[in-house]
Chain A
């Protein structure tokens, strides 16, 4: 025979309850208060219930509605089942069955909730993509230009603009060779490129077509095909409006709602918060792959050697360990599937028809001499 710590609810007690020691006898369950008062609930009228904060509290009731014994002590229910009379054993069996049923129901609920979460996890991304595509399609191209203008002042944070005709002219000439092969609405944009003095090997395009190439890229590239490959890749971000897409994606539902209602103030606020340039030039893997493949097709159409792109990517990997490059190549190095991207580009190259390759008015050698201050 064991004793269990618990308590008694009795309206007659000063506080309406008191701590008690509970003992199980054959004739019933007994609760003894410290003050000596004893309560007994006989086996034949005993009713049991589980509940309380933890769900493990056992409530023991009889015929008197004002009296309830309770205890959370483990083993009490089992002892009632083995020690007390037949009626009490039936009560224990009923409660045990009820508890098992509740447990099964709870488990089923958790399983259903887990299944719903899994389904939501699978369904949400594609639905969200469709919604983003729809929202971006609703936005006029003029918004891209406006957002690009907002970010353009940040371009010079990389370094001063280089105005030497040999370098700036080369960048513009490559851009102008690519322009006619872009879709008409993109080709009609005010595409402009600035050469920026910086050791970083990088180039980027803002929505609306304002571009920048850092002088480190011109210094490190082997030939104009490599430079053209990077420009074409960046132009494809403009063409597919990846900047604004990234923005709508990061703004999520809120942006979608504001786009539907034609209010872009939320988007502008988001830009102001996150840093304009960083938000507009942070693309996902999918967007990078699209820019690679369409970009390499653009270089070929414009008469550049499409092999320039995979060659440049390999070159990047080779020079990446140096710290100034690592920082710059976030658009390349952040993707672990470097080799996959090169393979995908090279698989596409044989199917491309290379356009006419007229002689260039500017050369990379002359641009480099200008950058060296010669």
Chain B
């Protein structure tokens, strides 16, 4: 399998060349184009119950698609995957470790990466991030997409992140919801509830927040 992220960072999309028998798993609706040498099969995202939980509480898609190169010999298949928001995409390598992804960040993964659902807690719900989140683990590559650019950041102590900017984090990261400042400043300053992220570990932030865009657009409607 060869992969390349093109048109970065504003309109990133993933181009994957699959050799015979190879499979890539993609978020439902991520496929933009594929050659006729592929076979697409839908399956539940993180098992049946996990998928249903994520659909209900996380607003995620119920299915993911397995896209396989269905021809033999020297032929190959090509597939282009995109994400719904304009922004960057990055590839992360898993070597037996795992990562938590926030709603909407997952784009695709190689066949050996396991998708499951992790309990995010009531604090996460308060922070507007839902009760469940996607957990990717195993060995392989996972592609995540964000709105705007994606910046990784090593966390040792505590960092305050506005809700909607955190898209992925390692399981060693602790997240609590809290107010940005005092009660007055938090709500009238427009920041409201934020996430307090404690290390050690790495987090991935997107530079734009889709809710911010939505409320900005709303002001013209």
In chain B, positions 181-204 with a C-beta closer than 8 Å to chain A are: 198, 200-202
Closest chain B CB from A268 CB (angstroms): 22
In chain A, positions 34-71 with a C-beta closer than 8 Å to chain B are: 34, 51-55, 57, 59, 68, 70
In chain A, positions 1-57 with a C-beta closer than 8 Å to chain B are: 5, 7, 9, 16-19, 34, 51-55, 57
Checking B97, B171, B200, B202 against A53 with a beta-carbon cut-off of 8 angstroms, the contacting residue is B171
In chain B, positions 166-187 with a C-beta closer than 8 Å to chain A are: 169-175
- Contact of B95 with A by CB under 8 A: yes
- Across the interface, do B172 and A51 meet the contact criterion of CB distance under 8 Å? yes
Q: What is the bound-complex CA distance between A70 and B173, given in angstroms? A: 11
Contact flags B73-103 to A (C-beta < 8 A → 1, else 0): 0000000000000000000000111001000
Contacts of B169 in A (CB 8 A): 53
Question: Which chain B residue lies CB-closest to A20?
Answer: B96
Question: Which chain B residue lies CB-closest to A56?
Answer: B171
Checking A18, A51, A57, A70 against B95 with a beta-carbon cut-off of 8 angstroms, the contacting residue is A18
Contacts of B97 in A (CB 8 A): 7, 17-19
> Known: A51-B198, A53-B118. Contact between A19 and B96, CB under 8 A?
yes
- Across the interface, do B154 and A16 meet the contact criterion of CB distance under 8 Å? yes
Contacts of A54 in B (CB 8 A): 118-119, 171
Q: What is the bound-complex CA distance between A5 and B94, given in angstroms? A: 14
- Contact of A72 with B by CB under 8 A: yes
- Across the interface, do B174 and A68 meet the contact criterion of CB distance under 8 Å? no
Checking A5, A7, A9, A53 against B175 with a beta-carbon cut-off of 8 angstroms, the contacting residue is A53
- Across the interface, do B118 and A52 meet the contact criterion of CB distance under 8 Å? no
Contact flags B108-142 to A (C-beta < 8 A → 1, else 0): 00000000001110000000000000000000000
Q: What is the bound-complex CA distance between A9 and B97, given in angstroms? A: 12
- Across the interface, do A51 and B154 meet the contact criterion of CB distance under 8 Å? no
> Known: A16-B154, A54-B119. Contact between A34 and B96, CB under 8 A?
yes
- Across the interface, do B174 and A53 meet the contact criterion of CB distance under 8 Å? yes
Closest chain B CB from A20 CB (angstroms): 8
Checking B100, B174, B202 against A55 with a beta-carbon cut-off of 8 angstroms, the contacting residue is B174
Q: What is the bound-complex CA distance between A53 and B97, given in angstroms? A: 14
Checking A5, A18, A19, A57 against B172 with a beta-carbon cut-off of 8 angstroms, the contacting residue is A57
Interface of B is mostly: strand
Q: What is the bound-complex CA distance between A303 and B113, given in angstroms? A: 85
Q: What is the bound-complex CA distance between A185 and B202, given in angstroms? A: 72
Closest chain B CB from A246 CB (angstroms): 30
Contact flags A319-359 to B (C-beta < 8 A → 1, else 0): 00000000000000000000000000000000000000000
Contacts of A5 in B (CB 8 A): 96
Contacts of B120 in A (CB 8 A): 53
> Known: A9-B200, A68-B200. Contact between A52 and B95, CB under 8 A?
no
Contact flags B3-42 to A (C-beta < 8 A → 1, else 0): 0000000000000000000000000000000000000000
Q: What is the bound-complex CA distance between A57 and B98, given in angstroms? A: 12
A9, A53, A59 — which one has the most chain B CB atoms within 10 A of its CB? A53
- Across the interface, do B174 and A51 meet the contact criterion of CB distance under 8 Å? yes
Contacts of A57 in B (CB 8 A): 171-172
Q: What is the bound-complex CA distance between A53 and B174, given in angstroms? A: 4
- Across the interface, do A52 and B174 meet the contact criterion of CB distance under 8 Å? yes
Closest chain A CB from B172 CB (angstroms): 5
B100, B120, B171 — which one has the most chain A CB atoms within 10 A of its CB? B171
Q: What is the bound-complex CA distance between A18 and B97, given in angstroms? A: 8
Contacts of A70 in B (CB 8 A): 172
Q: What is the bound-complex CA distance between A17 and B97, given in angstroms? A: 10
Q: What is the bound-complex CA distance between A34 and B139, given in angstroms? A: 12
Contacts of A16 in B (CB 8 A): 154, 202
Contacts of B100 in A (CB 8 A): 53
Question: Which chain B residue lies CB-closest to A61?
Answer: B200
Question: Which chain B residue lies CB-closest to A18?
Answer: B95
Q: What is the bound-complex CA distance between A281 and B204, given in angstroms? A: 55
Question: Which chain A residue lies CB-closest to B175?
Answer: A53
Closest chain A CB from B56 CB (angstroms): 21
Q: What is the bound-complex CA distance between A68 and B199, given in angstroms? A: 11
- Across the interface, do A52 and B171 meet the contact criterion of CB distance under 8 Å? yes
29 A-B pairs (CB sep. < 8 Å): A5-B96, A7-B96, A7-B97, A7-B172, A9-B172, A9-B201, A16-B154, A16-B202, A17-B170, A17-B202, A18-B97, A19-B95, A19-B96, A34-B95, A34-B96, A51-B172, A51-B198, A52-B173, A52-B174, A53-B100, A53-B120, A53-B169, A53-B174, A53-B175, A54-B118, A54-B119, A54-B171, A55-B174, A57-B171
Name B residues whose Cβ lies closer than 8 Å to a Cβ of A: 95-97, 100, 118-120, 154, 169-175, 198, 200-202
Name A residues whose Cβ lies closer than 8 Å to a Cβ of B: 5, 7, 9, 16-19, 34, 51-55, 57, 59, 68, 70, 72
Q: Supply 10 further A-B pairs (C-beta < 8 A) apart from A9-B172, A57-B172.
A: A5-B96, A7-B96, A7-B172, A19-B95, A51-B174, A52-B172, A53-B169, A54-B118, A54-B119, A55-B174
6 closest A-B pairs by beta carbon, nearest first, are A19-B96, A19-B97, A51-B174, A52-B172, A53-B171, A19-B95
